[in-house]
Amino acid sequence: MDGLSAARWQMELSLGFHIVFAAFGIGMPLLMLLAEGLYLRTGAAHYRELARTWGKATALLFVVGAVSGTALSFELGLLWPKFMAFAGPVIGPAFALEGYAFLIEAIFIGLYLYGWERLTPRQHWLSGVPVAISGVMSGVLVVGANAWMQSPRGYREVGGRVVDVDTFATFANPSWLPLSLHSTLSCTIAVGFAVAGVYAVGLLRGRDDAYHRSGLILAMALGAISAALQPLSGDQVAKLVGKTQPEKLAAMEAHFHTQAGAPLLIGGVPDAATAEVRFGLHVPKGLSFLATGDPNATIKGLHDFPLDERPNVLISHFAFQAMVGAGFALVAVGVAFFLVRRLRRGETPRWLLGVVAAAAPLGFVALEAGWIVTEVGRQPWIIYRVMRTRDAITPRADVGVTLATYTALYFVLAVVLVILLRGLAEKRKTEAT
């Protein structure tokens, strides 16, 4: 494996691992606040128990996420020094602000965990609000840096160096708000359905109590509402990609030839060598309509881009189909869950619990697939049409060693986290009995 491939694999592994904790950092505090808010309103003890459990889980996930995030920041300088030297003045403010958000989150997580008996109920709930806000802001700021890589703005380049950086203009790039909304909803979807799956499994194992029933309903509410909103956000992102990165859109849809009234491809196996797609279903004029709002608009095909500027169509297309397929499956699960409960007058049949449990990983499948589309679809550029990925790589020859080292680190972190979360669950189970 050459240095570039090893570096890309390492970043893919690192981002894929860390994004899980970024998602929990956004979704778990919202569930925590929702549960405690219901406790303040109703006085029901099981809501307080949910809030305490979710608060502890949030803290554990925050600590592991802090370690993986710190490792990721080292990787940027270690693997991509030319990128950081060029882009540092532009994306530096976003990472600095994200650091402040991290510190605020760390402080208030401590207050939340240890303030149950030391603060008034209202003060305690308010101490969790900065945790939720900081979690969302951390994600939005990191997406802001990535959005600039997709749509670079707000600077001048003189002699290969960045000068005259306009920080507000860099954040005002066309990708930031659509991608921030889309990624935030992706995180709440993933966390909502994952947590719901945990409580569905508990109910299937006979733990039919108010704690598990309420945990299931609250998590499903977060996931289902977010999933229902996500297609609206996704539509805006699709139009943005069609306008700002047409080759990414063509790769996502395996659209090889420029065409007016381009069809939307569902499924299919693209062959870049022959420019053909097998086994796919085409919706007439669907791609033109989704990308532009005009069913007769012309959509540029991959073959009209230089060969060395085309993204990997197989990975981009499969990842995009996985993201969309998982997303719509979760919309269906969310609608079915609340519809069946309404028809059953608040009861959740076992088969529906099984569906929720089976759907639990789909949110993270969609989240990971979406980031694959975002990053692979931008290739061969690390900064779109400014710097190629191959030009940003470190000249060091031992990248394979760091890949092995970081892989081992993430494996250890994952094992430790599973042990700690299982311990938290067992402790709660013991206390309940």
Continuous H helices in 115-209: 121-150, 167-171, 176-204
Please tell me the total count of domains within the chain: 2
CA distance 409 to 386: 33
Residues 352 and 425 in one domain: no
Q: Is residue 213 part of a domain?
A: no
Give percent of the chain above pLDDT 90.
Answer: 64
Q: In the prediction, which pLDDT does 280 show?
A: 85
Residues 264 and 321 in one domain: yes
- pLDDT for 252-306, tens place per residue? 999 999 999 899 999 889 988 888 888 888 999 999 998 988 999 999 999 999 9
Q: In the prediction, which pLDDT does 127 show?
A: 94
Residues 420 and 374 in one domain: no
Confidence check: pLDDT of 1 > 70? no
Average pLDDT over residues 42-67: 92
Handedness of CA 266, 269, 270, 274 (dihedral sign): negative
- pLDDT for 218-260, tens place per residue? 999 999 999 999 999 999 999 999 999 999 999 999 999 999 9
| pTM of the full structure | 0.92
Q: In the prediction, which pLDDT does 429 show?
A: 66
Confidence check: pLDDT of 396 > 80? no
Confidence check: pLDDT of 402 > 90? no
- pLDDT for 160-218, tens place per residue? 888 888 888 888 889 999 999 999 999 999 999 999 999 999 999 988 899 999 999 99
Confidence check: pLDDT of 427 > 80? no
Q: In the prediction, which pLDDT does 215 show?
A: 94
CA distance 211 to 134: 27
Which tokens belong to 224? Answer: 């289902």
Residues 416 and 337 in one domain: no
CA distance 384 to 373: 14
Name the residue among 408, 393, 311, 388 with its Cα closest to residue 14: 408
Q: In the prediction, which pLDDT does 431 show?
A: 62
Q: In the prediction, which pLDDT does 397 show?
A: 65
Residues 392 and 252 in one domain: yes
**Could you tell me if 10 and 402 are in contact, meaning their C-beta atoms sit under 8 angstroms apart?**
yes
For residue 335, give the H/E element and its range.
helix 313-343
Residues 292 and 419 in one domain: no
CA distance 294 to 376: 27
Residues 309 and 266 in one domain: yes
Tell me the residue range of the domain where 306 lies.
228-396
Q: In the prediction, which pLDDT does 223 show?
A: 96
C-alpha distance from residue 43 to each of 50, 115, 227, 318 (Å): 13, 18, 30, 48
Angle subtended at Cα 218 by Cα 215 and Cα 222, rounded to the nearest 5 degrees: 135
Confidence check: pLDDT of 17 > 80? yes
For residue 259, give the H/E element and its range.
strand 259-260
Residues 169 and 21 in one domain: yes
Q: In the prediction, which pLDDT does 394 show?
A: 84
Which tokens belong to 231? Answer: 């297609």
Q: Is residue 356 part of a domain?
A: yes
Residues 344 and 288 in one domain: yes
Confidence check: pLDDT of 430 > 70? no
Angle subtended at Cα 117 by Cα 112 and Cα 123, rounded to the nearest 5 degrees: 55
Residues 405 and 391 in one domain: no
DSSP for residue 304: G
Residues 401 and 371 in one domain: no
DSSP for residue 263: P
Question: How confident is the prediction for the chain on average, in pLDDT?
Answer: 90
Residues 389 and 406 in one domain: no
Q: What Rg, from alpha-carbon coordinates, does the chain have?
A: 23
Continuous H helices in 362-398: 362-376, 389-392
Quick one: how far is CA 333 from the chain centroid?
A: 20
Q: Is residue 19 part of a domain?
A: yes
Confidence check: pLDDT of 71 > 60? yes
Confidence check: pLDDT of 432 > 60? no
- pLDDT for 81-133, tens place per residue? 899 989 988 988 888 899 899 999 999 999 999 999 899 999 999 999 999 99
- pLDDT for 363-382, tens place per residue? 999 999 999 999 999 999 99
